[in-house]
């Protein structure tokens, strides 16, 4: 049985190649082998099947999702072009409405939170503020990013896209800025903050650093879920002038960052942003296996 990150990488490669039917078949074959990833695999399956024109499969699996109490972001369901073949179908429209009701209930109880790991040294502390991947458990964040001399601050987003699935988006910028203010009150060193993040959290960390929404010395961006940074390209010269430094780490088997990071790194370097790229063969949508030893080197690069 393949590990889920490898399956996700294969699914992403098939979708990128336009082979939606093959992606749907792969997701269908894997969905019961990875029960802990049912939410993600069912999204892959529904979106690929709908894009391939297999409405019956897409609607059947969507019914399964709702029956077990799960749900997807109704905004994402509306905005992705994959679901165009389902728009107007009574079952699909009802499912979107149910997802909206469940999302609204989840938002009533969602609260941005901040988990801290303090270093043994006395304050003021330099800070490593890390943003989780979409749906990444907090235990994974703390395990991957701990062990540095910095105060580790790991916020939990107040935005949700499914049961206990917390995600980062442009609308959560204010949350992160408020956490930075809190850190200053707790003894953080003024002006010595590094942003980090994985998956969508990696892209969000990069966006916050490049736009100056959060004042940071640098950004460590791991397996970023991004295609480009065109929407914030105007901010890059300002970030370069401020001395921002960026480090990327990703697996070459993860098609999205493997395609995007070399282009983005070249774009940053051309604008004068010091940029480091670390890639690993045989690694899919996950942290590099040597991340514990790689992290100190990335920190030394972005905050020398």
pLDDT at 109: 67
- Taking only the tens place, the pLDDT of each residue in 209-244 is 999 999 999 999 999 999 889 999 999 999 999 999
What does the pLDDT average to over 291-299?
Answer: 96
Domain check: are 152 and 69 in the same one? no
What does the pLDDT average to over 147-166?
Answer: 81
What does the pLDDT average to over 179-190?
Answer: 83
Domain check: are 293 and 164 in the same one? yes
C-alpha 203/C-alpha 180 separation (Å) is 18
Task: Return the percentage of the chain with pLDDT > 70, whole number.
Answer: 95
What does the pLDDT average to over 90-119?
Answer: 84
Domain boundary among 73, 108, 143: 108
Domain boundary among 92, 108, 124: 108
pLDDT at 161: 62
Domain check: are 58 and 137 in the same one? no
pLDDT at 160: 67
C-alpha 257/C-alpha 225 separation (Å) is 7
What does the pLDDT average to over 34-54?
Answer: 91
What does the pLDDT average to over 102-107?
Answer: 79
Domain check: are 148 and 190 in the same one? yes
What does the pLDDT average to over 114-129?
Answer: 91
Mean pLDDT for the chain? 90
C-alpha 220/C-alpha 298 separation (Å) is 7
pLDDT at 1: 43
pLDDT at 113: 78
Residue 66 has pLDDT above 50, yes or no: yes
The pLDDT confidence band at residue 171, using thresholds 50, 70 and 90, is low
Domain check: are 36 and 90 in the same one? yes
Q: How distant, in Å, are the alpha carbons of 66, 146, 277, 281 from that of 43?
A: 12, 31, 31, 27
pLDDT at 74: 86
Domain check: are 58 and 136 in the same one? no
What does the pLDDT average to over 11-24?
Answer: 91
What does the pLDDT average to over 110-128?
Answer: 86
Residue 2 has pLDDT above 70, yes or no: no
Domain check: are 161 and 13 in the same one? no
Domain check: are 248 and 132 in the same one? yes
Domain check: are 90 and 127 in the same one? no
Parent domain of 123: 111-302
Domain check: are 12 and 100 in the same one? yes
Residue 206 has pLDDT above 80, yes or no: yes
Domain check: are 130 and 97 in the same one? no
Helices within 136-282 (DSSP H only): 138-145, 173-185, 200-211, 236-241, 255-270
Task: Return the percentage of the chain with pLDDT > 90, whole number.
Answer: 60
The verdict on whether omega for the bond into residue 53 sits within 30 degrees of 0, i.e. cis, is: no
User: What is the tally of structural domains in the chain?
Assistant: 2
Q: In this predicted model, which residue has the larger pLDDT, 175 or 206? A: 206
C-alpha 46/C-alpha 96 separation (Å) is 13
> What CATH number is given to the structural domain containing 142?
3.40.50.1820
pLDDT at 76: 82
The verdict on whether omega for the bond into residue 3 sits within 30 degrees of 0, i.e. cis, is: no
What does the pLDDT average to over 137-161?
Answer: 88
Provide CB contacts within 8 A for 109, sequence distance 6+.
none
Rg (CA), the chain: 20
pLDDT at 28: 94
Q: Which secondary-structure segment (H or E) carries 298? A: helix 291-302
3-state class of 277 per DSSP?
strand
Domain boundary among 76, 93, 108: 108
Domain check: are 187 and 269 in the same one? yes
């Amino acid at each position: 049985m393949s590990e889920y990150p490898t399956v996700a990488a294969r699914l992403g490669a098939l979708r990128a190649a336009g082979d939606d039917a093959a992606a749907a078949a792969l997701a269908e074959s894997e969905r019961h082998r990875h029960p802990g990833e049912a939410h993600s695999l069912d999204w892959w399956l529904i979106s690929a099947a709908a894009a391939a024109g297999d409405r019956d499969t897409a609607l059947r699996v969507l019914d399964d999702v709702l029956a077990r109490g799960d749900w997807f972001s109704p905004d994402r369901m509306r905005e992705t072009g994959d679901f165009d073949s389902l728009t107007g179908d009574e079952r699909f429209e009802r499912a979107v409405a149910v997802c909206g009701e469940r999302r609204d209930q989840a938002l009533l109880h969602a609260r941005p939170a901040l988990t801290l790991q303090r270093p043994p040294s006395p304050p003021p502390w330099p800070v490593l503020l890390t943003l989780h991947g979409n749906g990444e458990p907090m235990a994974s964040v703390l395990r991957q990013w701990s062990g540095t001399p910095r105060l580790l601050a790991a916020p939990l987003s107040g935005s949700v896209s499914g049961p206990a699935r917390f995600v980062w988006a442009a609308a959560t910028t204010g949350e992160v800025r408020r956490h930075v203010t809190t850190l200053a009150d707790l003894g953080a060193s003024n002006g010595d903050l590094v942003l980090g993040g994985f998956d969508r959290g990696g892209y969000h960390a990069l966006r916050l650093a490049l736009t100056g929404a959060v004042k940071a010395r640098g950004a460590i961006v791991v397996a970023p879920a991004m295609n480009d940074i065109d929407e914030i390209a105007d901010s890059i010269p300002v970030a370069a002038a401020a001395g921002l430094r960026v480090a990327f780490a990703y697996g070459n088997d993860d098609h999205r960052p493997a395609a995007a990071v070399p282009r983005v790194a070249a774009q940053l370097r051309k604008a004068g942003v010091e940029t480091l790229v670390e890639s690993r063969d045989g690694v899919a949508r996950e942290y590099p296996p040597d991340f514990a030893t790689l992290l100190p080197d990335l920190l030394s690069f972005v905050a020398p």
